[in-house]
Amino acid sequence: MYVYDSFAGFPKSTNNVDAISYEVVDTGYWRESEDASPPGTEEMLRREFTRRFGEAGWTIVRGMFEQSLVSDPLRREVAIANLDCDLYASTVQVLDHLLGNRLFPDGAVILLDDYNCNRANPRFGMRRALRECFARTDGFYDYSEFINYGWHGRAFFVHRLGDSPNPDAGNLDAGYLTEGGAR
């Protein structure tokens, strides 16, 4: 399990999508430094993870994604990604990293906690980020809806179309059928 968070709240919204969004301009919920974690949050999480999981199997990376995904990039396959970072720009940074490095296996699940923020307007937030980031994969990845949770969240399945078994490709000798038998 990997946890990435600034623990210092949101970065300043320098792009227009966030800067003119309802959640920045009207409600103010997504303004710079809003949602900063109380002091000691990271230490509390470390204690709690150690108590539950032991010393290994989890990593906490502190910092803004812009830096942390470069200094400590995620390199392992990601079966479940829970994005609770609200902003369009933050969501783009994470999704571009995961999709661009092809870290999602076929059937992975993405939870977008803030999918219906900004009055569910598709010009903003996670709705826009999801659409644009998947489009950048040029068909290697696609997604479909899984479940809604609360008024705000929606989960999606990831479809890895670029290199998953394809019954329409016309090649029955494909490795996945012959190595270890048909599934």
Interface with ligand SAM by CB under 6 A: which residues?
Answer: 5-6, 9-11, 35, 37, 64-65, 84-87, 90
Using the minimum distance from each CB to ligand SAM, give the nearer residue, 74 or 85: 85
39: which 2 tokens?
């002091």
Secondary structure class of 116 (helix, strand, coil)? coil
| Residue 13 beta carbon to ligand SAM: minimum distance, rounded to whole angstroms | 10
- In the bound state, the residue with its beta carbon closest to ligand SAM is 90
Using the minimum distance from each CB to ligand SAM, give the nearer residue, 8 or 159: 8
**Residue appearing with tokens 């999606």:** 156
| Residue 36 beta carbon to ligand SAM: minimum distance, rounded to whole angstroms | 7
**Residue appearing with tokens 């219906």:** 116
| Residue 97 beta carbon to ligand SAM: minimum distance, rounded to whole angstroms | 11
| Residue 87 beta carbon to ligand SAM: minimum distance, rounded to whole angstroms | 5
DSSP 49-77: HHHHH-SSS-EEEES-HHHHHHHS---S-
Q: Which residues contact 74 (CB under 8 A, 6 or more apart)?
A: 2, 4, 97, 98, 101, 103
Using the minimum distance from each CB to ligand SAM, give the nearer residue, 49 or 140: 49
| Residue 144 beta carbon to ligand SAM: minimum distance, rounded to whole angstroms | 24
Helix, strand and coil content of the chain, in percent to the nearest 5, comes to 30, 20, 50
Answer whether 113's CB lies under 8 Å from 153's CB.
Answer: yes
Answer whether 87's CB lies under 8 Å from 59's CB.
Answer: no
Using the minimum distance from each CB to ligand SAM, give the nearer residue, 70 or 161: 70
Using the minimum distance from each CB to ligand SAM, give the nearer residue, 62 or 159: 62
